[in-house]
Amino acid sequence: MANNKTVIKNGRFLVPGAIKPVLSGYMTIEDDLISYIGEEEPLSEEGVQIVDGSRLLFMPGLVNTHGHTAMSLLRGYGDDLALQVWLQEKMWPMEEKFTGDDVYWGTSLSVLEMLKGGTTTFLDMYDHMDRVAEVVELSGIRAVLMRGVIGLCSEEVQNQKLAEAIAFARNWHGKAEGRITTMMSPHAPYTCPPDFFVKFVQAAHDLDLPMHTHMSETKREVEQNIADYGLRPVAHLEKLGMFTRPSLVAHAVHLNDEEIGILSRHNVGVSHNPGSNLKLASGVARVTDLLNAGVKVSLGTDGAASNNNLDMFEEMRLAALIHKGVSGDPTAVPAPQAMRMATEYGAKSIFLDKVGRLAAGMKADFIALDIDQPHLLPHTDLLSHAVYSASARDVEHVWINGKQVVKHGECLTLDEEAICRKAQESFEGLLKR
Amino acid sequence: MANNKTVIKNGRFLVPGAIKPVLSGYMTIEDDLISYIGEEEPLSEEGVQIVDGSRLLFMPGLVNTHGHTAMSLLRGYGDDLALQVWLQEKMWPMEEKFTGDDVYWGTSLSVLEMLKGGTTTFLDMYDHMDRVAEVVELSGIRAVLMRGVIGLCSEEVQNQKLAEAIAFARNWHGKAEGRITTMMSPHAPYTCPPDFFVKFVQAAHDLDLPMHTHMSETKREVEQNIADYGLRPVAHLEKLGMFTRPSLVAHAVHLNDEEIGILSRHNVGVSHNPGSNLKLASGVARVTDLLNAGVKVSLGTDGAASNNNLDMFEEMRLAALIHKGVSGDPTAVPAPQAMRMATEYGAKSIFLDKVGRLAAGMKADFIALDIDQPHLLPHTDLLSHAVYSASARDVEHVWINGKQVVKHGECLTLDEEAICRKAQESFEGLLKR
């Protein structure tokens, strides 16, 4: 199978968990897997594709663990507003009008942005998920998908939405050469009454799938949870049985020590969304405390409407910067840890064992940065440059599942011109409807 | 003089102070000035250069009001360290070895990065300033330059450094077609004893120049000032007479209400450096309170060693994001205000009356972004996109003083390949010496 084999020569490879985090050498890809990475040159073989790795920095593809991909259609539509005004006057009235086609083009726009920016895996919690899965299948990206369900409706509608979520999760799990996995996702404890939430836990058990939800994004939401149920959100979700399933919660900005203990004990992952949390003025999550308690903390962009881009380099940098500035400790969230949050911990948070690191036996999901540029020179510490100096725009090549999907900054799998035009038309159509 | 006239047609232009902050229309440049901007097409003339502005977003060039440009040679050399370890074990031993050539290549690297990233004016406080001025002259950028003087030395050496600072300020003020202006700059109250600081104030009076210094970057420094002089830094500098000169202070992270009042009363500008303040864990400046008190707040990158890039879009976005997240108010530092801090207020802070806005009679210092890209679509609010979604890498063209210096992302005035090579060699040379 030599024609499915690629050797990268003379590259520099980031292995942020290692003692020596920048490895100079070689990496071999066979089919969808990394079969070798090391300093010694592999024996030459006929029919093997050779990639010249000099001038490039290779790193694991970025893993975006929370988002609502189609919301890129509303990027910049209502900024600098109070949260309730933004939601009630801007987001919800527009989202109500979203058709399957809108979701298709919004998702396409986001996936294009993510691929070109080095994100190789994303989580999406939204509606019209069949259309999202279509984009994933076509684009070559890896994704964990779920129908996000708001349960503030009649029991009949609730049950219908739950059935949809179950059908989607069952139909798509393992599809697109295994690039798609699924989860069960009630939207949030404040939008899903307890009895409805419990039905999701039961479904997750039945389907043997993990769970995802929004949790403790705002202070107000925590206070409301206490008023409604007499418990803070973490204890509330524990009581509803969510943590009997492998679980990931998004945001988790407002936590007390006891809640951090519960999350750690149940091995619940936290998707930290620094850009969105700052922009919506939700606050600054206790990331250092979570990491110290052994909680898996990963990074997410949230939807582009509250970010306002899907640049995971920016989330990595924000995570490395804000926790230093707010805590007063310049050693908080050092560069290797920020990078692991954006890659290895991200993959673990969404239960993908073979993604997130450059190592033999792992899926060949990796990216290459052009490092011969003024803002990435001199070459003092390339891991530091990737975290503190680089951006999505420095991504030169992207491989997912062993296939190259971005080459010299151009996406090989999607029609960029058509997507940009269709996304603009979709937005204009929403304004008119 | 029709061959010195350019008309931009069908462009979109950002005027963040206006009621309608995105103007669709035309802009005319004659020699070094903007002579017209408006919705009506100017009469056609022979010999006029026409620029097609469709697909582009025009905005004022970014103004970086605090930095140490040659420090890009130390980008990534010592991150995630406590401030004193970083300074004493990493920065100072290396900076001591800097030659004029190191400063020349470090500054060239930074100016190249800034030009390609849309920064058209920068402030530099450093040593070997003649070499910095050479780079400014060659590159076409606009700069306010000053010898930054640390006075922790004998009176003889102090006087020699002061004489150097005065000679530099006098020789270069108004040079390079007026693109260079100068200021007097004692490094900081904690590195310049009061009597020495006062000599700078006197020199600034004699030369009729403004003053710049670091102030209240860390909490420790404020405490030290109180211990040494019985005053907080703002009152201390007021007592030394600094504010009798037009002044700009960098950082100003740790201020009380009284100090904000003094700064406002004397019309002292503040260069806010959010990236550096977060990375060095200095804290979060009281930007909203400063703006509410009528203080001119502008943005600076600081040196690349504590940032770690010179992307002013990132500073603009950080300023718009962190003050929301930390205050809990999502309307704090809205996009138009963040952009004015990075342009108009920046120019005012360094006493350049004709820079920082797109308007007839202003200097033709402006940039064009490529807005037909996935992360800048749909075109909902282009000012918002420039602040929340764009980066240095989206800059397509740059004009300064009426001359184009960056075209399709390529710098027309500097040799990029040579600078990248020389900067790397300089860093390697410093390691060996």
Same domain? A55 vs A201: no
Q: Please report the pLDDT score of residue A252 as a whole number.
A: 98
Same domain? B229 vs B360: no
Mean pLDDT for all residues in chain B: 97
Residue span of the structural domain in which A29 resides: 2-61+355-411
A384 and B79 within 8 Å at the Cβ level: the answer is yes
- Does a structural domain hold residue B324? yes
Which chain A residues are within 8 Å of B280, Cβ to Cβ? Answer: 324, 330
CATH number at residue A120: 3.20.20.140
Say if CB A140 and CB A177 are below 8 A apart.
no
Q: Please report the pLDDT score of residue A87 as a whole number.
A: 87
Which chain A residues are within 8 Å of B307, Cβ to Cβ? Answer: 388
Give residues with Cβ within 8 angstroms of B152, minimum separation 6: B191
Residue B1 pLDDT class (50, 70, 90 cuts): very low
Q: CB of B75 within 8 Å of any CB in chain A?
A: yes
Same domain? A324 vs A395: no
Residue B369 is classified by DSSP as: E
Same domain? B272 vs B388: no
pLDDT beneath 50: ranges in chain A: 1-2
Q: Is residue A164 classed as helix, strand or coil in its secondary structure?
A: helix
Shortest distance between the Cα of B115 and any Cα of chain A, in A, equals 11
Say if CB A391 and CB A313 are below 8 A apart.
yes
Cα–chain center distance at A319: 14
Which chain A residues are within 8 Å of B392, Cβ to Cβ? Answer: 375, 391
Nearest CA in chain B to A73: B378
Chosen domain end from A349, A365, A394: A349
Cis peptide before A378 (omega within 30 of 0): yes
Q: Please report the pLDDT score of residue A3 as a whole number.
A: 57
- Which of A113, A281, A322 shows the shortest C-beta gap to B374? A113
- Does a structural domain hold residue A419? no
Same domain? A102 vs A209: yes
Q: Please report the pLDDT score of residue A82 as a whole number.
A: 85
- Which of B80, B381, B428 shows the shortest C-beta gap to A76? B381
C-alpha dist (Å) from residue B360 to A304, B224, B346: 36, 48, 19
Q: Percent of chain B beyond pLDDT 70?
A: 99
Q: Tens digits of per-residue pLDDT, B192-239?
A: 999 999 999 999 999 999 999 999 999 999 999 999 999 999 999 999
Same domain? B302 vs B365: no
Same domain? B29 vs B117: no
Which chain B residues are within 8 Å of A332, Cβ to Cβ? Answer: 281
pLDDT at B365 over 90: yes
- Does a structural domain hold residue B425? no
B75 and A385 within 8 Å at the Cβ level: the answer is yes
pLDDT at B24 over 80: yes
Chosen domain end from B323, B349, B375: B349
Say if CB A17 and CB A383 are below 8 A apart.
no
- A–B interface: beta-carbon pairs under 8 A: 209
Quote the number of domains for chain A.
Answer: 2
Q: Tens digits of per-residue pLDDT, B42-71?
A: 998 899 999 999 999 999 999 999 999 999
Q: Is residue A308 classed as helix, strand or coil in its secondary structure?
A: coil
Q: CB of A409 within 8 Å of any CB in chain B?
A: no
Q: Is residue B242 classed as helix, strand or coil in its secondary structure?
A: helix
If we measure between CA atoms, which residue out of B64, B304, B315, B317 comes closest to residue A389?
Answer: B304
Chosen domain end from B303, B330, B349: B349
What six digits make up the tokens of B218? 């860390």
Q: Report, as an integer, the average pLDDT of B384-401.
A: 98
Same domain? B206 vs B300: yes
Beta carbons within 10 angstroms of residue A425's beta carbon: 14
- Does a structural domain hold residue A308? yes
- Does a structural domain hold residue B316? yes
Q: Of A388, A406, A411, A430, which to mutate for an interface test with B (greatest number of B Cβ within 10 Å)? A: A388
- Does a structural domain hold residue B422? no
Is A66 among the annotated ligand-binding positions? yes
CATH number at residue A401: 2.30.40.10
A279 and B388 within 8 Å at the Cβ level: the answer is yes
Q: Please report the pLDDT score of residue A1 as a whole number.
A: 43
Same domain? A210 vs A266: yes
Nearest CA in chain A to B395: A393
Residue B2 pLDDT class (50, 70, 90 cuts): very low
pLDDT at B3 over 60: no
Q: Tens digits of per-residue pLDDT, B121-149?
A: 999 999 999 999 999 999 999 999 999 99
Same domain? B278 vs B135: yes
Same domain? B66 vs B109: yes
C-alpha dist (Å) from residue B28 to A252, B31, B142, B354: 51, 10, 21, 16
Beta carbons within 10 angstroms of residue A257's beta carbon: 9
- Does a structural domain hold residue B395? yes
Q: A residues 264-323 near B, CB within 8 Å?
A: 275, 277-284, 304, 307-311, 318, 320-322
Which chain B residues are within 8 Å of A327, Cβ to Cβ? Answer: 281
pLDDT at B432 over 80: yes
- Does a structural domain hold residue A421? no
- Which of A75, A318, A334 shows the shortest C-beta gap to B378? A75
Same domain? B75 vs B55: no
Q: Please report the pLDDT score of residue A426 as a whole number.
A: 98
